[in-house]
Amino acid sequence: MRIETVENTSDGINISGHLIQEEFRQLAGELDPLSIFSPQTLSIPTAYTKTGARKSYAKWLLLPKPLRNDYKAKEYNFDNMMCGKLESLENLFIIYKIPKRLETFMEES
């Protein structure tokens, strides 16, 4: 996505942008709500490990220690974790969505 305009308003920030068709297609019709991030904010080095035979193996993506230290696992519901992929012209993004436990979320409000 290329940001074209950013406007400060009384109730937030309005952003106008341009998506190439492939980026728009990956939204699969889900336009509200959107989560936006910049690839430059992904700055923690990480690793993976693989298991299995030469042509049939699994890759395990590991959460780096600095990231693990940023949250308390008991506050998130790992049983309802979802995963997906997004591709840009330059990168493949593997994204995990881990919902907060409802009781933790309600305490913060």
* Confidence class for position 10, pLDDT limits 50, 70, 90: very high
**End-to-end distance of the chain based on CA atoms, in angstroms?**
32
The answer to pTM > 0.75 is: no
13 Cβ contact partners less than 8 Å away, ≥ 6 residues apart = 6, 7
| Confidence tier at 109 by pLDDT (50, 70, 90) | low
Exposed / middle / buried, residue 109 (Cβ in 10 Å: 0-12, 13-18, 19+): exposed
